[in-house]
A = this chain, B = another copy of it.
Amino acid sequence: MVNETQQPCSASSSSRSDGSSSGSESSKDNSRCSTPVLDADRHERLREKMRRRQDAGDKWFSLEFFPPRTANAAVNLISRFDRMGAGGPLFIDVTWHPAGDPGSDKETSSMIIANTAVNYCGLETILHMTCCNQTKDDITGHLQKAKRLGLKNIMALRGDPSGEEWEEEVDGFNYAVDLVKHIRNEFDDYFDICVAGYPKGHPEAESYEADLRHLKEKVFAGADFIITQLFFRPETFLKFMKDCQAIGITCPIIPGIFPIQGYHSLRQLVKLSKLEVPQEIKDVIEPIKDNDAAIRNYGVELAVSMCRQLLDSGMVHGLHFYTLNREVATTEVLKRLGIWREDPRRPLPWAVSAHPKRRVEDVRPIFWASRPKSYIYRTQEWDDFPNGRWGNSSSPAFGELKDYYLFYLKSKSPREELLKMWGEELTSEESVFEVFTCYITGEPNRNGYKVTCMPWNDDPLATETNLLKDQLERVNRRGILTINSQPNINGKPSTDPIVGWGPSGGYVFQKAYLEFFTSSEIVTALLKVLKKYELRVNYHIVNVKGQNITNAPDLQPNAVTWGIFPGREIIQPTVVDPVSFLSWKDEAFALWIEQWAKLYEEESPSRMIIQYIHDNYYLVNLVDNDFPLENCLWQVVEDTFELLN
């Protein structure tokens, strides 16, 4: 949004200006919902969220990113989405780069990055779209694709004309207002539309006043809110806002904040945006221009000070940050302003997707707990969530996960690093046990490297799992290779910092769960031990060929996480479901080969060890149904080891 061109005064203004809701996607349902509404955020469109936050007097922020150039950079950006998403932005937006094939299916296209943010990172997302030099059909195609992918918000921009001298095209898109009208014509009220505002007036505008009139036109054509170009002094924005209001613009106007992060990025930006840096800023920066840290510190100070003045004015409720895809400066500003969410409240125990189709999703199998993006990918063709109840017999099949290099599932670590963590050379099954043990303990492996990820888990151990660390270490060392577990919880407050989720005032519960790979020898002993626990422990044991041993009644799901909240139905967001376990089994076994074995040469001993495990081990899950008592699963495992001795 750095370089947006103004629109001339044309086209009659529409009477629609207040962003009021209508149409099928609008508002939350007035009738009863088929699933409990735990989190109003998931059910509202962006303009309503904004209004609600404003009505409640909450301050909020949003973050702007641009699409990266390489697939590796895209993987990193997605990790950044996850991390910065935890701070609680109201939305993020992804810019549109006409030169980067922005509507394509490339990993680095604007469309796919925005898709990933919505679907896989669960972030409310605005996709930018520029219209000049494009046909109506192109634009309609992009919009249809965006809608199909679950994108609900468009930032309508003109974009840079390609030629030297710009000329209006007959019947084409010449101005952002044309795009706004086109979206409303073709897609009715489906999208929330954002447009750009210029606190100093657009550099190409005849005058500041003329530019304000253009802005009003965009709003009256159907835009829901305005994000401004960056500016350097708070009074610039506040004057602009008053001027907008004076000519009848009543929708939200969000100031665009640019924390200065370096001398060169500032210069480049200034050149592109044709803005002038005030003398008092130049005076500070020029002397320290080679000291990046100093400039960034100054930039943070400046941004904090400006944001405080904006918020204190009472006219500003939200702040929009031009992050330049960087994390540190923006996060620092937000933390100092106190609007970074330090204690992220989870609406459900797992990260929710922001796709409108998944608004009512409130239950998932526990198996994908560490691979939520894979779960979303494999259920993306589902028509509804959670399919009535979880266990609906007409539940559609899980999609195949053939492409293990889908970029949003790609390991953040390159092959060399994985080899350092998981072993350049494996000599026995025990060396595999060691890798699992090091992952659990956080201790360096025999070559001095910490194991920070595993094929089944791209992140370090969850805080909750840390509660089980000692026991997990003990059993992994002996060949019970754990990939998923949770402790039992008997009614902790929903605000508990480690295991809490959902609205406050509730109570959360869990049944103890343990999932692991292990040898057939251990399985034989385990099955004998499980007889003693027949009424208490449910188990599913399966090998890669699908041989399946279970004591679960019929094919019913077992709820293993649930919450009781004021004025709500019971929520049971995690289940052990026998049917989906078989889909998960395929994925869990395949990860041995795809992520681990393939690091090694074919026919190499290392690869053959992993292949052996893949072919011969069993995947086991255990649930202790007696959640109010002490977890018995460790005793089950101890009994098994004892039997083997």
Contacts and interface: CB of A to CB of B under 8 A. Distances in A.
A570 B568 contact: no
Instruction: State the oligomeric state as a number of copies.
Output: 2
Q: Which of the listed residues A29, A575, A625 has the most CB atoms from chain B within 10 Å of its own CB?
A: A625
Contacts of A34: 388-389, 391-393
Nearest to A563: B570
Contacts of A567: 538, 552-553, 556, 558, 623, 625
A509 interface: yes
A33 B250 CA distance: 52
A31 B575 contact: no
Interface in A563-582: 564-570, 572, 575, 579
Interface string A123-134: 000000000000
A271 B579 CA distance: 61
Those 5 A-B pairs whose CB atoms lie nearest each other, nearest first: A31-B393, A566-B625, A32-B391, A32-B393, A538-B567
A558 to B, nearest CB: 5
A569 B558 contact: yes
Interface in A508-548: 509, 535-536, 538
A392 B32 CA distance: 6
Q: Which of the listed residues A29, A564, A565 has the most CB atoms from chain B within 10 Å of its own CB?
A: A564
A536 B505 contact: yes
Contact of A566 (B389, B535, B557, B570): B535
A44 to B, nearest CB: 12
Given A509-B564, A564-B559, A389 B35 contact: yes
Measured as residues with beta carbon below 8 angstroms from the partner, the interface class of chain A is: 35 or more
B556 A37 contact: yes
A342 interface: no
A555 interface: yes
A535 B579 CA distance: 39
A570 B559 contact: yes
A120 interface: no
14 contacts: A32-B392, A32-B555, A32-B556, A34-B388, A34-B389, A389-B569, A491-B628, A505-B535, A505-B626, A507-B627, A507-B628, A557-B568, A567-B623, A569-B575
Contacts of A554: 28, 32-33, 37
Q: Which of the listed residues A536, A559, A628 has the most CB atoms from chain B within 10 Å of its own CB?
A: A559
Contacts of A553: 37, 567-568
A36 B556 contact: yes
B579 A566 contact: no
A490 interface: yes
A388 B388 contact: yes
Nearest to A507: B628
Given A505-B535, A536-B505, A625-B505, A390 B569 contact: yes
Interface in A7-34: 28-29, 31-34
Q: Which of the listed residues A34, A37, A390, A626 has the most CB atoms from chain B within 10 Å of its own CB?
A: A34
B558 A568 contact: yes
Q: Which of the listed residues A393, A491, A556 has the most CB atoms from chain B within 10 Å of its own CB?
A: A556
A395 interface: yes
Contacts of A390: 569
Interface in A147-202: none
A562 interface: yes
A552 B37 CA distance: 12
A388 to B, nearest CB: 5
Interface in A242-288: none
A538 B555 CA distance: 36
A556 B575 contact: no
A572 B571 CA distance: 10
Contacts of A395: 32
Contact of A393 (B29, B36, B392): B29
B555 A569 contact: no
A32 B565 CA distance: 28
A579 B627 contact: no
A33 B391 contact: yes
Contact of A564 (B32, B562, B568): B562
Contacts of A505: 535-536, 625-626
Q: Which of the listed residues A569, A625, A627 has the most CB atoms from chain B within 10 Å of its own CB?
A: A569
A557 B33 CA distance: 10
Contacts of A535: 505, 566
Contacts of A392: 32, 34
Nearest to A578: B32
A10 B29 CA distance: 65
Contact of A570 (B538, B572, B623): B572
A631 to B, nearest CB: 15
Nearest to A491: B628
Interface in A560-611: 562, 564-570, 572, 575, 579
Contacts of A393: 29, 31-34
Contacts of A35: 389
Contacts of A568: 553, 556-559
A569 B564 CA distance: 14
Contacts of A565: 625
A535 B505 CA distance: 7
Contacts of A562: 564, 570
A572 B564 CA distance: 11
A536 B625 contact: no
Nearest to A35: B389
Contacts of A388: 34, 388-389
